[in-house]
């Protein structure tokens, strides 16, 4: 194999998910080339296509980040190949595992295309070491200017807390919080634990928190050391986003909630009493 | 200035509330006798197009579904929500229809229908591929705006300002029309199709075609080797108090 990995960055820092993609690429065997390009998403696809034209890679990978998801299908269509999204396992050079139906089933798919295009689910692969490589760097000049889209601005959620996608601890709240004001007890507990804050789709849909906190198949997929689900019943699409966490704990007053079925530790309690108590005891 | 026409994709999928079952022979999931409905992300796309029409920003909403005869049911729902006409691209082996094939079908329909805008859900909740919109805009060399949170048409009708959901928050881009836009969760709240509207929708036109008639090769490139249950996670223990929970997390799991 000879593999190209698209390096997703924010003009300064590497997206940590790329290190997982590089680890996945190394499992394919053969050379791994990392492509770093500037510019916005829309101009990235032509750069990857030029690199492919020049070097005829057998595989092109990116992390399944918002940039990877945006760019890679466009590259695949231009090369007239199908694409395999959200790969969680590499069985061979042409056979890959991926979740379907919100993680309720795992599909094994074999690609017959000449070039395999994959996005990699970061939580399924360890991050490759950040240092110690021996790669050489070469410049690759392309004219990939386009005028289809203009970047206007970003409004990133500012937070001193760890980033949800790569935090070692996550505290998530659900619809049982009942309001965005009440969600402050989740933030307080997260701060006491040094954790990132997440939420169920129900809490997002109800407007308690912004969508970028959503954990689940249609939101973020996380796999921290500790995932604490508070007032979350455990809908299948939420579980798909966090079931690979090392330890799962939950606080819920409904003993029948499905979240207890997948929790290592379950506390049946009123969250409005238990959460402030836990925050106080961890301070 | 209003746009002339939008094409909107509607995939028929197993209803989001159904707990799917993997077939014992691992060939797929059980679909027979299971409730199906419109892919929730496509409902957002239909709703957005209908709202644009109601706001006089769009003249005609054409909904498209690729799949077996049952796909006509979701098209009827879309017509009842307010779409003007429907195109059913008949294809029985829908589980072998890959996003690349669907994108090629849409690219052909774009040639025939000459829309200014194609609105698609960001992903279908069965294969979770999240590819079709991006592939279509690639095939057409059109602009793309994925994971839309808010869509505004410029007064001159020549571009859209789209606020997009990205990993760390939101991003705003201007895209030149024609464009392919994929919808994300918070774009709107889709309406329910009311009974009178369902009755009215029966009179709206629905055309049926096939990939062959369109001259599109949709032969699969991927072979599904097996579908298996995900590794199960077993339930642990119940703790009695906050103190016990903290103790277990600190001393047993060692994660605090």
Residue of B219, B248, B256 for testing the chain A interface, max A β-carbons within 10 Å: B256
Per residue in A14-65, pLDDT tens?
898 999 999 999 999 999 999 998 766 667 898 999 999 999 999 999 999 9
Distance from CA of B139 to the nearest CA of A (A): 6
Give the burial class of B73: count Cβ atoms within 10 A of its Cβ; 0-12 exposed, 13-18 middle, 19 or more buried: middle
**Any A CB within 8 A of B116 CB:** no
State how far the Cα of B107 lies from the Cα of B132, in Å rounded to an integer.
11
Specify whether the CB–CB gap between B115 and B7 falls below 8 A.
yes
Peptide bond preceding A262 in cis form (omega within 30 of 0)? no
CA atoms within 13 A of residue B67's CA, in its CB half-sphere: 22
Note whether B27 contacts A: Cβ–Cβ < 8 A. no
Phi-psi region of B28 (alpha: psi -120 to 50; beta: other; left: phi over 0): left
Average pLDDT over residues A124-133: 89
Question: Dihedral angle at the C-alpha atoms of A173, A70, B18, A237, nearest 10 degrees?
Answer: -20
> What range does the domain containing B179 cover?
3-252
Sheet of strand A83-87, all strands in order from the earlier edge strand to the far edge: A31-36, A2-7, A59-63, A116-120, A83-87
Q: Which residue has the tokens 């959200």?
A: A86
Give alpha helix (H) positions in B6-70.
40-54
Q: Name the residue of chain B whose CA is nearest to A94's CA.
A: B222
Per-residue pLDDT of chain B (256 residues; tens, 9 = 90+): 899 999 999 999 999 888 899 999 999 999 999 999 999 999 999 999 999 999 999 999 999 999 999 999 999 999 999 999 999 999 999 889 999 999 999 999 999 999 999 999 999 999 999 999 999 999 999 999 999 999 999 999 999 999 999 988 899 999 999 999 999 988 999 999 999 999 999 999 999 999 999 999 999 999 999 999 988 888 899 999 999 999 999 999 999 9
**B168 vs A105, A156, A218: nearest CB:** A156
Q: What is the DSSP string of A186-231?
A: HHHHHHHHT-EEEE-HHHHHTTSS-GGGBBSTTSB----SEEEEES
Q: Which residues of A touch B22 (CB under 8 A)?
A: 105
pLDDT at residue A206 tops 70: yes
Interface test with A, best of B42, B242, B248, B251 (most A CBs within 10 A): B242
Question: For chain A, which residues make up each domain, given as ranges?
Answer: 2-124, 164-282
> Do the two domains A2-124 and A164-282 of this chain adopt the same fold?
yes
Q: Which residues of A touch B137 (CB under 8 A)?
A: 74
Regarding the domain with residue range A164-282, which homologous superfamily does it belong to in the CATH classification?
TPP-binding domain (3.40.50.1220)
The domain tally of chain B equals 1
- Closest listed residue to residue B94, CA positions, set B122, B70, B75, B74: B70
Q: What is the CATH number of the domain that holds B171?
A: 3.40.50.620
Mean pLDDT computed over A135-158: 81
- Kindly identify which residue of chain B lies nearest to residue A100, measuring between CA atoms: B127
The CA distance from A184 to A152, in Å, is: 31
Which residue on chain A is closest to B181 by alpha carbon?
A: A70
Min Cα–Cα distance to chain B from A93, Å? 13
What is the CATH code for A2-124? Answer: 3.40.50.620
Tell which phi-psi region holds residue B156, choosing left (phi > 0), alpha (psi between -120 and 50) or beta: alpha
Smallest CA-to-CA distance from B255 within A166, A249, A16 is with A249
0.80 cut: is pTM over it?
Answer: yes
């Amino acid at each position: 194999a000879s593999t190209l990995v698209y390096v997703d960055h924010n003009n300064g820092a590497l997206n940590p998910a790329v290190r997982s993609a590089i680890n996945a690429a190394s499992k394919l065997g053969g050379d791994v080339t990392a492509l770093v390009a500037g510019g916005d998403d829309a101009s990235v696809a032509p750069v990857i296509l030029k690199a492919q034209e020049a070097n005829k890679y057998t595989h092109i990978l990116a992390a399944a980040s918002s940039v990877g998801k945006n760019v890679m299908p466009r590259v695949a269509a231009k090369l007239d190949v199908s694409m395999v999204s959200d790969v969680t396992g590499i069985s061979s050079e042409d056979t890959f595992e991926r979740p379907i139906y919100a993680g309720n089933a795992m599909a094994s798919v074999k690609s017959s295309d000449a070039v395999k295009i994959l996005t990699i689910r970061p939580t399924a692969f360890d991050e490759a070491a950040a240092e110690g490589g021996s790669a050489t760097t070469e410049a690759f000049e392309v004219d990939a200017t386009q005028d289809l889209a203009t970047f206007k601005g970003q409004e990133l959620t500012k937070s001193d807390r760890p980033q949800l996608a790569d935090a070692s601890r996550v505290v998530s709240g659900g619809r049982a919080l009942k309001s965005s004001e009440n969600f402050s007890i989740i933030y307080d507990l997260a701060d006491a634990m040094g954790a990132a804050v997440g939420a169920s789709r129900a809490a997002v849909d109800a407007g308690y928190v912004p969508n970028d906190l959503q954990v689940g198949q249609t939101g973020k997929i996380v796999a921290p050391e500790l995932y604490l689900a508070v007032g979350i019943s455990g809908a299948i699409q939420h579980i798909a986003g966090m079931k690979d966490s090392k330890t799962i704990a939950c606080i819920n007053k409904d003993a029948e909630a499905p979240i207890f079925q997948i929790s290592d530790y379950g506390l049946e309690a009123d969250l409005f009493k238990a959460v402030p108590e836990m925050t106080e005891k961890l301070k | 200035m209003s746009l002339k026409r939008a094409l909107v994709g509607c995939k028929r999928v197993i209803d989001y509330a159904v707990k799917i079952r993997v077939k014992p022979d691992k060939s797929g999931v059980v679909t027979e006798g299971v409730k199906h409905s419109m892919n929730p992300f496509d409902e957002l796309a239909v709703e957005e197009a209908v709202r644009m029409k109601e706001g006089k920003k769009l003249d005609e909403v054409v909904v498209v579904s690729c799949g077996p005869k049952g796909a006509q049911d979701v098209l009827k729902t879309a017509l009842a929500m307010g779409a003007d006409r429907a195109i059913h691209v008949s294809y029985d082996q829908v589980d072998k229809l890959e996003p690349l094939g669907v994108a090629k079908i849409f690219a052909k329909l774009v040639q025939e229908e000459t829309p200014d805008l194609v609105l698609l859900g960001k992903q279908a909740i069965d294969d979770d591929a999240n590819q079709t919109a991006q592939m279509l805009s690639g095939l057409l060399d059109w602009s793309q705006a994925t994971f839309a949170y808010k869509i505004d048409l410029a007064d001159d009708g020549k571009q859209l300002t789209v606020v997009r959901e990205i990993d760390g928050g939101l991003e705003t881009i201007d895209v030149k029309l024609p464009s392919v836009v994929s919808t994300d969760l918070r774009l709107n709240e889709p309406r329910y199709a009311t009974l009178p509207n369902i009755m009215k929708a029966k009179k709206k036109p629905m055309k049926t075609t096939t990939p062959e008639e369109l001259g599109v090769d949709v032969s699969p490139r991927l072979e599904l080797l097996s579908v298996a249950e995900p590794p199960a996670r077993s339930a642990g223990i119940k703790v009695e108090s906050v103190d016990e929970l903290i103790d277990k997390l600190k001393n047993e799991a060692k994660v605090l």
